[in-house]
């Protein structure tokens, strides 16, 4: 589990607290070391002031008068402890030294500086060894209990103070960082609002701008750069929209102008084919091809005009439409056009109705069935299902054919897109069928998508319904 802070605010606060904690730790260690040295120096001065009098008096009766409580004294002869005592409240007491303790005492350098030793039967002591008059060694020292107690209190005080300082700094730092990052937060808020705009459809005006553009600050520089970028994006979107409008107008005008000459060409071709005059086979074949291609081109022109009308937002018919009946009719037409396929219907017992344009919705279902028939081999099973959903009606067209090529699930709904790039124009359409499906469904306030894998392809329509 990654416990590292994710946001910039959290990272700044965490970094501030880590630096403060390290500083407090360094200050605590430094003050503790300095205090320990100071206290040990005071103990050493007291030991030097008392001298070896207490240790020397042990041989003659352990006189403890004038000695501080806890003072340690010992007399060594030939490296062996002959006398040892510790000043208590009433009198000197024998500390009960172990052999290891005696070995430690014997190892102290005579005439050397005071040393800290750990005696098993006593606390830590600061001891010094001095030469006696009779060739013996006098050891005198003071307990470090008071020093350790003072240091423990100092550490506890520092811990409480530093913890309080960290808590206060954390709260104050959070408020300060939040205030300092407020301009950056406004930039992020503006970016989120821009990201929610429908930039891919129609004319878009980017009125959002970052208010903080002070070039003296880093966030102001980011805000100014972001505003310039929004201006460039708005200009690009405006140019794109203008180009799309011109292209749509051109497609609509060209399609409208082509309808009349295409109808005239088709009419003359049909008239010539119906004539009684003898005609060479080549001429009759050419007229048949003219008639077929002009019919195909008329269908393409009609599709382009329909797309142009939908792009212009022209309203469709609004009437009650029985989708069950449309599915039955479209499936019957598909069965007649593709007898080699297996066609199945899955409909609820009661009719399923929506409000919309019956002609265009029939065209949508027929286009999906035609798409399944053209792009799957004979023997493929195609299932058309109509189901009620909460607030919507679902229409699915499913087949067990080879499926849509990977990565083309969204592209096939674009205009002039062809899933099979290798097929000829004689076997495939112009690539407008699924584009019309999406445009018609969108005009009804619905959606269409496809889920495909080898052996199963499903086109799903969702149309809003009040039932």
Which of 279, 313, 347 is where one domain is finished?
313
Please provide residue 451's backbone torsions phi and psi, each rounded to the nearest 5 degrees: -125, 125
Rounded CA gap, 86 and 125, in Å? Answer: 11
pLDDT tens digits along 28-51: 899 999 998 999 999 888 888 878
Query: 286 and 401: one domain?
Result: no
Which of 154, 180, 206 is where one domain is finished?
180
Query: 203 and 263: one domain?
Result: yes
Rounded CA gap, 101 and 69, in Å? Answer: 21
Query: 24 and 153: one domain?
Result: yes
Residues 405 and 427 sit within 8 Å (Cβ to Cβ): no
Chain centroid to CA 166: how far? 30
Sequence-distant (≥ 6) Cβ neighbours of residue 371 within 8 angstroms:
433, 434, 459
| 130, β-bridge pairs | 138
Query: 272 and 135: one domain?
Result: no
Query: 88 and 153: one domain?
Result: no
* Domain housing 93: 54-143
Which of 313, 343, 366 is where one domain is finished?
313
Whether residue 193 is contained in a domain is answered as: no
Listed as ranges, residues in the chain with pLDDT below 50 are 422-427
pTM (predicted TM-score):
0.50
Query: 360 and 404: one domain?
Result: yes
- How many structural domains compose the chain? 4
- The three-point CA angle 189-190-194 to 5° equals 120
What is the phi-psi region of residue 405: left when phi exceeds 0, alpha when psi lies from -120 to 50, beta otherwise? beta
pLDDT tens digits along 148-177: 899 999 999 989 998 998 899 888 888 888
What is the reported pLDDT for 62? 54
What is the reported pLDDT for 238? 79
Pick from 431, 203, 416, 444: which is nearest to 310 by CA? 444
| 60, β-bridge pairs | none
DSSP 8-state code for residue 110: B
Query: 357 and 450: one domain?
Result: yes
Chain centroid to CA 458: how far? 31
CATH of residue 297's domain is 1.10.287
Helix segments in 51-98, DSSP class H: 53-57
Query: 285 and 386: one domain?
Result: no
What is the phi-psi region of residue 281: left when phi exceeds 0, alpha when psi lies from -120 to 50, beta otherwise? alpha
Query: 390 and 446: one domain?
Result: yes
């Amino acid at each position: 589990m990654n416990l590292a802070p994710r946001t910039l605010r959290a990272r700044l606060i965490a970094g501030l607290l880590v630096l403060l904690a390290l500083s407090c730790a360094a200050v605590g260690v430094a003050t503790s070391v300095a205090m320990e040295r100071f206290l040990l120096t005071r103990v050493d001065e007291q030991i030097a002031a008392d001298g070896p009098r207490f240790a020397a008096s042990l041989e003659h009766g352990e006189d403890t008068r004038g000695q501080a409580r806890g003072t340690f004294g010992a007399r060594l002869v030939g490296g062996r402890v002959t006398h040892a005592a510790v000043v208590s409240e009433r009198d000197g007491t024998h500390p009960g030294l172990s052999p290891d303790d005696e070995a430690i005492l014997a190892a102290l350098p005579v005439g050397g500086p005071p040393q800290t030793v750990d005696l098993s039967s006593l606390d830590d002591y600061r001891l010094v060894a001095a030469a006696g008059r009779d060739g013996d060694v006098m050891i005198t020292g003071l307990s470090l209990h008071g020093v350790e107690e003072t240091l423990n209190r100092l550490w506890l005080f520092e811990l409480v103070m530093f913890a309080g300082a960290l808590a206060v700094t954390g709260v104050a730092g959070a408020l300060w960082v939040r205030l300092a990052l407020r301009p950056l937060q406004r930039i992020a808020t503006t970016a989120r609002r821009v990201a929610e705009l429908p930039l891919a459809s129609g004319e878009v005006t980017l009125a959002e701008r970052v208010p903080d553009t002070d070039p003296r600050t880093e966030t102001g520089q980011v805000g100014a750069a972001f505003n310039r970028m929004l201006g460039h994006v708005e200009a690009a979107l405006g140019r794109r929209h203008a180009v799309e409008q011109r292209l749509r107008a051109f497609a609509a005008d060209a399609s409208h102008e082509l309808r009349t000459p295409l109808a005239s060409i088709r009419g003359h071709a049909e008239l010539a084919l119906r004539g009684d005059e003898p005609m060479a086979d080549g001429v009759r074949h050419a007229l048949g091809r003219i008639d077929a291609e002009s019919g195909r081109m008329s269908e393409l022109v009609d599709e382009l005009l329909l797309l142009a009308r939908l792009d212009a937002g022209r309203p469709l018919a609004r009437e009650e439409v029985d989708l069950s009946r449309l599915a039955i009719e479209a499936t019957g037409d598909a069965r007649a056009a593709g007898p080699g396929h297996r066609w199945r219907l899955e409909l609820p017992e009661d009719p399923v109705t929506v409000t919309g344009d019956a002609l265009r919705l029939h065209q949508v279902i027929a286009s999906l069935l035609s798409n399944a028939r053209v792009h799957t081999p004979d023997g493929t099973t195609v299932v058309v299902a109509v189901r009620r959903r909460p607030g919507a009606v679902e229409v699915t067209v499913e087949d067990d054919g080879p499926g849509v090529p990977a990565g083309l699930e969204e592209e096939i709904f674009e205009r002039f897109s062809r899933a099979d790039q290798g097929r000829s124009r004689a076997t495939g359409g112009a690539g407008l069928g699924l584009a019309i499906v999406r445009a018609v469904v969108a005009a009804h306030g619905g959606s269409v998508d496809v889920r495909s894998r080898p052996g199963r392809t499903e086109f799903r329509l969702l149309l809003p319904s009040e039932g």
